[in-house]
Amino acid sequence: MNMPHFFRVFIAATCVIFSTQVFDARAQQNKPAAANQCEEHVKVHGLLSRAYAACNYSFYSRGFTIQADDCTKKLGDKDSKQLLLQGTTAFDERSKQMGQATLCAKILKDFPYTVRQ
């Protein structure tokens, strides 16, 4: 299936929402995420970081960011920067397509434990 880049990232982000509480708990216990989850987690972190700034959210889960930092260390700077860029680019592209206010509302709905107004 040939999906636009944003949709692949957004689908990954939706999958991550279900494991956010697990990530938060692991981060608090200083346990790293499984290696196969790190790439998607860093992409989603890029998307949510952009959303946090662009949407004026007042909360971004500390546990989620700690886990992203752990994953960044695992993946290395070069790969992590590329993955973060993919996430931020996905936000920007989708924002142009559907409007920033609509996208911000959707992210709040999709990630209620990770970002808040």
Angle, CA 11 vertex, CA 29 and CA 27 arms, to 5° = 5
Every domain of the chain and the residues it spans = 5-111
Whether 19 has a pLDDT exceeding 80, the answer reads no
Whether 20 has a pLDDT exceeding 90, the answer reads no
> CA-to-CA distance for 62 and 46, rounded, in angstroms?
14
Indicate the pLDDT class of residue 37, thresholds 50, 70 and 90.
Answer: confident
Whether 29 has a pLDDT exceeding 50, the answer reads no
Q: pLDDT averaged over the chain?
A: 82
Rounded percentage of the chain residues whose pLDDT exceeds 90: 68
Residue ranges in 1-117 assigned as alpha helix (H): 5-28, 35-54, 62-75, 77-98, 100-110
